Amino acid sequence: MMRIPVILFSILLVLIGACKEVPILSKEATEKTLMYQEQFRPQYHFSPPEKWMNDPNGLLYNQGVYHLFYQFYPEDIVWGPMHWGHATSTDMLHWENKPIALYPDKHGLIFSGSAVLDENNTSGLGTAKNPPLVAIFTYHDMDKEKAGSIDFQTQGVAYSLDNGESFTMYEGNPVLLNSEFKDFRDPKVFWDKKTGQWVMALVAGDHLRLYRSDNLLEWTYMSRFGATQGAHGGVWECPDLFELQVEGIDESKWVLLISINPGAPNGGSGTQYFVGDYDGTTFISDQEEIKWLDWGTDNYAGVTNNNTPDNQRLFIGWMSNWNYARETPTEAWRSAMTLPRILSLSKINDTYELFNYPIPEVDSLLLEETTMRFAIPAGGHESIGLENGNQSEILFTTAARDLKVTFKNEQGQQLILEMDGTEKLCTLDRSQSGLTDFQETFAGSQQMPLNNLPGGEVEFRIFLDASSIEVFINKGQYTMTAQIFPTASYSDLEIGNTGTTPSQIQDFAVKEVAGIW
């Protein structure tokens, strides 16, 4: 038997004792969970190691590390007292699970919010040499809510001096009170270079409110937007406000993301956007049309990273919908995030369109490739066998607009994506895609109007990952994200031509996507 020298053994004991025990997984977490091998477990999307997750929070890049915080309830697989879970990555694809970042305290539960690097230590919470990461979030006081008072949502601050490894709650919390609005939440804070101030975008029921600050701790109201604009089928949540250069022209615009629940075009939760201008105080938009970032049922509460290199707008959304988020058929964990996507703005037929498309790093996960090019006669179809269909990317370009893409498995389940060129409509039908009866609104088909899609060759890109499908048309001009629960992998892909002329499918490729865990 190998013997450890006594001195070394004692050193080991001291070291073990000194290690702060910060559990990431509970004791019951099975080995299967650790391997991310359960049925429906996404292989290349972020999902929490276990238990309940909703919105992405505090997306921030600092010192080569992307931080993803998220709404987390570590005790159950349904929503409960909210914490901020935490994971980090150097490429936004491979994630390392970190200990819980924020716990509820005497001011309430920790709802959604954002994080910034306070580079000049304006808050005084760090030092000039070691500037703090500052998280700004909503406190939700359950007791006050139950007692019927209106001021139960306030904003709080926490800071980290070790690049997000641990956080301290600011003693002066809460930093922004409220006596007017029942819903008063989800602060997105950013540094406005032009005016040299911190700006907080916050939602209050049916509108956005902007506040300013010099130090992240004292906030002054500036302006409001939106009570009479955009979709209002439900309460406004999770705002994000940022500037984007318009592709190909010398113009920049400001984009406002607003999640609403309910009131999305296909039911329940969805994210609308406004394109407009911001002058350092007020956001305005003359946009009349209601615009959606994603037409699928499962992309909610998404926001973008602060502090990215080149100020890129890197977006992550929660791949679920409040209509059925608590009932989806998983046991160890609930829900996943979308693929990280890059946002860009284009002007097409005189209107601004926000594109969202997987970040280029996703290409590094693509493995096996089958490429082909074929023509499908009117009314005909082409069948392609899929090796690992539920972990794949399908990509092709075509000028055809009447297409039916069907994924089938040996259990008779099928997922259908259909394009109708005359109606300018794309439909995703998941009614027979797998398990659907866990909640009554889940089955059925979802629609996406393609009114502004240019003619000619257009790229179609589809990602399947165990329990999700993400569809990107024309590099993300039109996007649909939806959860699915097939009980066997889709092994057959059928592309049908539903038009009256032959369709040419160019550069058709199926690739397996490597797992990230």
Instruction: Say if residues 408 and 425 touch (Cβ distance below 8 Å).
Output: no
- For position 185 contacting ligand FRU by CB under 6 A, the verdict is yes
Helix (H) or strand (E) holding 145: helix 142-146
Amino acid at 86: H
For residue 241 the two structure tokens come to: 């406000």
For residue 444 the two structure tokens come to: 């059925």
For residue 11, how many other CB atoms are within 10 A of its CB?
A: 12
55 is catalytic: yes
List 33, 47, 88, 138, residue binding ligand FRU (CB under 6 A)? 138
Residues 469-488 that bind ligand FRU (CB under 6 A): none
- Say how many CA atoms lie within 13 Å of 309 toward its Cβ: 6
Q: Pick the closer one to ligand FRU by CB: 117 or 325.
A: 325
Say which of 55, 118, 186, 240 is annotated catalytic.
55
Q: Is the peptide bond before 187 cis (omega within 30 degrees of 0)?
A: no
Amino acid at 429: D
- For position 240 contacting ligand FRU by CB under 6 A, the verdict is no
Q: Pick the closer one to ligand FRU by CB: 186 or 240.
A: 186
- For position 54 contacting ligand FRU by CB under 6 A, the verdict is yes
Residues 188-227 that bind ligand FRU (CB under 6 A): none
- For position 55 contacting ligand FRU by CB under 6 A, the verdict is yes
Coil, strand or helix: which one is 6?
Answer: helix
- For position 237 contacting ligand FRU by CB under 6 A, the verdict is yes
The residue with tokens 């919908």 is 321
Q: Pick the closer one to ligand FRU by CB: 301 or 339.
A: 301
- For position 114 contacting ligand FRU by CB under 6 A, the verdict is no
Which of 144, 151, 241, 251 has its CA nearest to residue 198?
241
Q: How far is the CB of 238 from ligand FRU (least distance, A)?
A: 6
- For position 112 contacting ligand FRU by CB under 6 A, the verdict is yes
Q: How far is the CB of 396 from ligand FRU (least distance, A)?
A: 34
Phi/psi region, residue 443 (left: phi>0; alpha: psi -120 to 50; beta: rest), is beta
Count residues near ligand FRU (CB under 6 A): 12
Q: Write the CA distances from 450 to 311, 401, 416, integer angstroms.
A: 29, 10, 17
List 82, 158, 365, 510, residue binding ligand FRU (CB under 6 A)? 82
For residue 131 the two structure tokens come to: 């500037």
Q: Pick the closer one to ligand FRU by CB: 109 or 339.
A: 109
Distance CA 53, CA 326 (A): 10
Q: How far is the CB of 104 from ligand FRU (least distance, A)?
A: 12
List 33, 47, 62, 71, residue binding ligand FRU (CB under 6 A)? 71
Q: Pick the closer one to ligand FRU by CB: 86 or 401.
A: 86
For residue 415 the two structure tokens come to: 């997922």
Q: How far is the CB of 163 from ligand FRU (least distance, A)?
A: 24
Positions that interact with ligand FRU (CB under 6 A): 54-55, 71, 82, 111-112, 138, 185-186, 237-238, 301
Residue numbers annotated as active site:
55
